[in-house]
Structure 1
Amino acid sequence: MGFNCASKATAIFLLLSVSALVCAKKSGDVKELQIGVKYKPETCEVQAHKGDSIKVHYRGKLTDGTVFDSSFERGDPIAFELGSGQVIKGWDLGIKTMKKGENALFTIPADLAYGSSGSAPTIPPNATLQFDVELLSWSSIKDICKDGGIFKKILVEGEKWENPKDLDEVIVRYEAQLEDGSVVARSDGVEFTVKDGHFCPALARAVKTMKKGEKVLLTVKPQYGFGEKGKPASGDESAVPPNANIQITLELVDWKTVTEVTDDKKVIKKILKEGDGYERPNEGAVVKVKLIGKLQDGTVFFKKGQDDSELFEFKTDEEQVIDGLDRAVSTMKKGELALLTIAPEYAFGSSESQQELAVVPPNSTVCYEIELVSFDKEKESWDMNTDEKIEAAGKKKEEGNVLFKAGKYVKASKRYEKAVKFIEYDSSFREEEKKQAKALKVACNLNNAACKLKLKDYKQAEKLCTKVLELESRNVKALYRRAQAYIQLADLDLAEFDIKKALEIDPDNR
């Protein structure tokens, strides 16, 4: 079958409309598809999509068995771009039901083939056609920016499913050529942060769509290359003329994941080696780590667990280490190796700190290389019996009280919340245990409401007081603190109601 616009024969192959429903049955190793009944693929293997470059073998027959065309006999498969109008729409849509290496037999009615006109001299009018099809291969081609500026053709599939993000540091190999084939730049291995980019804007855009080990061919328009000005020659790199299209062969060799541990971007974690599994330390977990602490000039101020020395051990969320290190280790998996960059606010602050090996000056940003060797998670409520739950809740409440008195309201609030979670579901408790649990819930929610008022989180303060009043409707502290929250929320009528009720219950309460 020829492949030119003048002949309808170029389009014959697989003719299924957008709304066509197909059903499948096995005939030896060949899948037969017919119009009319829904077809569900038997596996989740990758299938072709619009824009992919397809290569197929086929044999076309009339229903009486007459072969009118065959790429098999010619020994010459045909190639086309899926969904681009190079073949009829049925072919474009139908090929999506196939998988690489699959053989299929398609039966196509006339209205989805050549209709009432046919295709003289081989195909009569209103002819139902059959095709033996073998999908040999395809190369995925994607319009990365959805504006035609960068087309990506996959040459080698990558691993897993993750893609680099803006903060990640990628290692790539690339070669850039002009349309005439002249090489303007190449590198056998360069590392850069995705958001900062390298060479031209197309590289950063492309790597964000790639997987580890993936190799692609990029066709880059000037707006994602060097635009109207082009690029002068520099060093080993040749000049790029103004408004030049570029072709870049790009391989994503590897990357290091970089994440923001805190919302204000002042604790940054770069993963040097991935950890195992999915579990991470919870609050109160005992962790053992290898740890090296450095100033930004490279001065080592802390070192544990290196050269077979004893590992450094601490309990998370207990202020045994600086806040940034405490927060970061809770995001790590067992065996993970990471580099932490911690701003002064989450390190040693504005004061000088004498550490094991050196002094940390005031307002220092510090770096830690940390490997999480092991951890023992704090026991969760579902692993406890009722006595243990009540004991754990009481302990967290006392910890919260100590933190509140120290003015550490965020940490205190978390302790009170955790205390309540231990005893939240008390249907299996005995009567005496239910009384204990109720008293703890009331105390913890009241204290937490006081934390929220200090933190100006008035809506949460109101909710916590309401929880207390659902348990004890005449609790004066809850009414008073809820009134404080209502005043800040400008709900003055509700505030007045709570204050009056509190005065009715305890008129002498100062």
Structure 2
Amino acid sequence: MDAAEQNHLLPKKKKSETEDDKRRKRIVAGSLLKAVVRPGGGDSSPKDADQIIYHCTVRTLDGVVVESTRSECGGRGLPIRDVLGKSKMILGLLEGIPTMHKGEISMFKMKPEMHYAEKDCPVSAPGNFPKDDELHFEIELLDFAKAKIASDDLGVIKKILNEGEGWESPREPYEVKAWISAKSGDGQVILAPKEEPYFFTFGTSEVPKGLEIGIGTMARKEKAVIYVRKQYLTESPLMHIAQDLEEVHFEVELVHFIQVRDMLGDGRLIKRRIRDGRGEFPMDCPLQDSRLSIHYRGMLLNEDKTVFYDSRIENGDQPLEFSSGEGLVPEGFEMCTRLMLPGEIALVTCPPDYAYDKFPRPPGVPKGAHVQWEIELLGFETPRDWTGLDFQSIMNEAENIRSTGNRLFKEGKFELAKAKYEKVLREFNHVNPQDDDEGKVFGDARNMLHLNVAACLLKLGEWRKSLETCNKVLEAKPGHAKGLYRRGMAYMAGGEYKDARNDFNMMIKVDKSSEADATAALLKLKQKEQEAESKARKQFKGLFDKKPGEITEVGSEIREETRTIEEVDETKDNDGDDEETQEEENTATVSTERKRKWSEKAWPILKNVMVQIGIQLCVALLGVYIFQFVSARFT
């Protein structure tokens, strides 16, 4: 039995019951009757998630029209557009329309509970509608098709006419070229096709909001009708929106779009694709560190667009080759080339801090210059796959990458260096040494890489992560001298001086040859401690060199101020006792006011004390002060 047969025999998961399913269960036999007036065409009928377009005329049983969408029956002539399973519909139509074919006209006789008299009906009855009567609903199913819901409120829905190519869709700030025409809901042309496709930039309100939402779901060369309701019909340069328009049907053919990427999210580093490349984005891009072959032309963003380099001229038409991830080109340049396809040409606009302010500047490029590169990616070679390599070849590859990381570290490019070390560590997860000798070589190499990562983290100011990385080495080999050294440096960076000293002293015990490094580290540690002590002494300067009398005098000031406050409070209390007619609410207000004034007078003195003698002494003095104050109040 093959897998397909086994899957067929497995019990199918029960589909969760929807609200519409629960409503259908309440249908009583005879409450909904159907009579076909005119048969439709084809064998298919609408299903859940299909958009249905239909005319509806409601009549009483004696033929009086209650309401209609048809103009000949007093309606506006606009058909109803719903999505089965998504739109709110009366129960009779929810059950009846899925039995119809395209072009069919049928009469549905409905009991009140099948239309607006249904319990908890999700649709409100129109004004003066006889919802308690049995009625005839004449339905003409004009069209139905699979719908792409572009907005949750069903204000923008797309019907695909011709499938497009690829999976990518335009989004902000892509540049779009499309054929666009439009009709009102009743079929009147409000935007005729132009002689040339319309060109606009996504996210700049150059087309109505709903149209942009719909186009944002399309693929290249796709053709579709986008139904946009009133709330999404915003004014734009494309067309004027009349006030009485309820909805517009846009017919769109997406000719092309140019991928435009805001690489930093702030509009400073922009990559604009000029010519499409080969393959699928992003699967066929050099996302990983690769060997790239390119041609490029560099220009200053001045009035003359001065060209400061052209590889086809300067390099004798030979392409420039470099390995990504090694800091060999400006950061903005590399960020953009990683998102290119072979054969693609892109125009990159770059700010100074991602161009040449942090990279050796070519002749003719001033400091702080914004630049533009026109880059053509000719091709790239992915890194060598380690699968199937023997152990020695793997270790040679690892050493080459580690050496590159060491160079980047010396150049101060710590993030790039860390990425190189971490890349090898990831590859090491799939390496299995075959004997003890290989195991020792492999273990030593892995420990060294972890410590290299720890050094990068320390340079990047992440001492806790550096500490954790060192612990990976010391858990495997507790007496690893370099591991102790690196962890000690991490402790020192974090101000954990005692732990740092322990690690440096342990270095000397486990490896006498590391004594010189440990001694130098201990000397540096002592300097750090002295600096910290000196800094603390400066912060508390003057707090503990007061004479006892001076501190006592400060306390006397507090007591004197306290007595003054107490006298004022007592006077106010006495005044309050003389007024026998004072109400309880006023008494509470006066009491609150006394407390506020007392705190206003006491706080400046307390603040001075805190500044003079520091928090710890202040807490003790405050306790004495409170005790004296309470004693004075109740004696």
TM-score, with length taken from structure 1: 0.66
Distance in 2 of aligned mates of 1:435 and 1:470 = 16
* Inter-CA distance 153–194: structure 2 relative to 1 (3 Å threshold): same
Opposite residue 49 of structure 2, the aligned amino acid is K
Query: 8 Å contact 1:176–1:184 — kept in the other structure?
Result: yes
Distance in 2 of aligned mates of 1:137 and 1:223 = 24
Opposite residue 343 of structure 2, the aligned amino acid is G
Counterpart for residue 9 of structure 1: 34
Counterpart for residue 420 of structure 1: 425
Deviates more, 1:79-88 or 1:172-181: 79-88
Distance in 2 of aligned mates of 1:206 and 1:398 = 51
Query: 8 Å contact 1:11–1:88 — kept in the other structure?
Result: no
Give the SS at the match of 2:329. coil
* Inter-CA distance 354–408: structure 2 relative to 1 (3 Å threshold): closer
1:383-431 CA-partner distances (Å, limit 9, x unpaired):
5321122122223333322322222211221222234345444423443
1:257 and 2:256 matched: no
Distance in 2 of aligned mates of 1:163 and 1:440 = 46
* Inter-CA distance 360–502: structure 2 relative to 1 (3 Å threshold): closer
1:183 and 2:190 matched: yes
Counterpart for residue 6 of structure 2: none
Distance in 1 of aligned mates of 2:395 and 2:307 = 44
Out of 427, 435, 439, which is 1:434 matched to? 439
* Inter-CA distance 424–246: structure 2 relative to 1 (3 Å threshold): closer
* Inter-CA distance 152–396: structure 2 relative to 1 (3 Å threshold): closer
* Inter-CA distance 487–264: structure 2 relative to 1 (3 Å threshold): farther
Query: 8 Å contact 2:289–2:324 — kept in the other structure?
Result: yes
Counterpart for residue 245 of structure 1: 246
Opposite residue 217 of structure 1, the aligned amino acid is V
Counterpart for residue 62 of structure 1: none
Q: Which residues of 2 match residues 86-485 of structure 1 at below 5 A?
A: 89=94, 138-178=144-184, 181=188, 183=190, 187=194, 188-226=196-234, 239-242=240-243, 244-247=245-248, 248-261=250-263, 266-271=268-273, 272-276=275-279, 278-281=283-286, 285-297=290-302, 298-305=305-312, 309-349=317-357, 353-355=361-363, 359-479=364-484, 481-482=486-487, 485=490
How far off is 1:8 after superposition?
A: 2.1
Distance in 2 of aligned mates of 1:376 and 1:421 = 20
How far off is 1:441 after superposition?
A: 1.7
Deviates more, 1:291-300 or 1:249-258: 291-300
Query: 8 Å contact 1:287–1:313 — kept in the other structure?
Result: yes
* Inter-CA distance 300–407: structure 2 relative to 1 (3 Å threshold): same
1:33-55 CA-partner distances (Å, limit 9, x unpaired):
xxxxxxxxxxxxxx954242389
| Greater RCO (Cα-Cα under 8 Å, separation 6 or more) | 1
Query: 8 Å contact 1:178–1:184 — kept in the other structure?
Result: no
Query: 8 Å contact 1:192–1:198 — kept in the other structure?
Result: yes
Opposite residue 327 of structure 1, the aligned amino acid is M
Deviates more, 1:478-487 or 1:172-181: 478-487
How far off is 1:468 after superposition?
A: 0.9
How far off is 1:146 after superposition?
A: 1.9
How far off is 1:263 after superposition?
A: 6.8
Q: What do you get for the CA RMSD once the two structures are aligned?
A: 4.2
Query: 8 Å contact 1:412–1:451 — kept in the other structure?
Result: yes
Say which one has the larger Rg.
2
More strand by share: 1
TM-score, with length taken from structure 2: 0.54
Distance in 2 of aligned mates of 1:195 and 1:395 = 46
Distance in 2 of aligned mates of 1:407 and 1:484 = 18
Percent identity, aligned pairs only?
Answer: 26
Query: 8 Å contact 2:182–2:192 — kept in the other structure?
Result: yes
Query: 8 Å contact 1:438–1:471 — kept in the other structure?
Result: no
* Inter-CA distance 288–215: structure 2 relative to 1 (3 Å threshold): same
Q: Which runs of 5+ in 1 are unaligned?
A: 1-5, 13-29, 32-46, 56-78, 101-134
Distance in 2 of aligned mates of 1:302 and 1:476 = 50
Deviates more, 1:182-191 or 1:340-349: 182-191
* Inter-CA distance 240–279: structure 2 relative to 1 (3 Å threshold): closer
* Inter-CA distance 352–446: structure 2 relative to 1 (3 Å threshold): closer
Opposite residue 253 of structure 1, the aligned amino acid is V
More helix by share: 2
* Inter-CA distance 431–161: structure 2 relative to 1 (3 Å threshold): same
Distance in 1 of aligned mates of 2:257 and 2:293 = 26
1:359-400 CA-partner distances (Å, limit 9, x unpaired):
223222222222222222332332532112212222333332
Distance in 2 of aligned mates of 1:312 and 1:480 = 42
* Inter-CA distance 473–142: structure 2 relative to 1 (3 Å threshold): same
Query: 8 Å contact 1:289–1:311 — kept in the other structure?
Result: yes
* Inter-CA distance 383–280: structure 2 relative to 1 (3 Å threshold): farther
Q: Which runs of 5+ in 2 are unaligned?
A: 1-30, 38-42, 55-80, 103-140, 510-514, 520-635
Distance in 1 of aligned mates of 2:269 and 2:387 = 32
Opposite residue 349 of structure 1, the aligned amino acid is D
Opposite residue 34 of structure 2, the aligned amino acid is A
Distance in 1 of aligned mates of 2:450 and 2:477 = 12
Distance in 2 of aligned mates of 1:238 and 1:506 = 81
Distance in 2 of aligned mates of 1:426 and 1:143 = 49
Q: What is the aligned length?
A: 402
* Inter-CA distance 261–380: structure 2 relative to 1 (3 Å threshold): farther
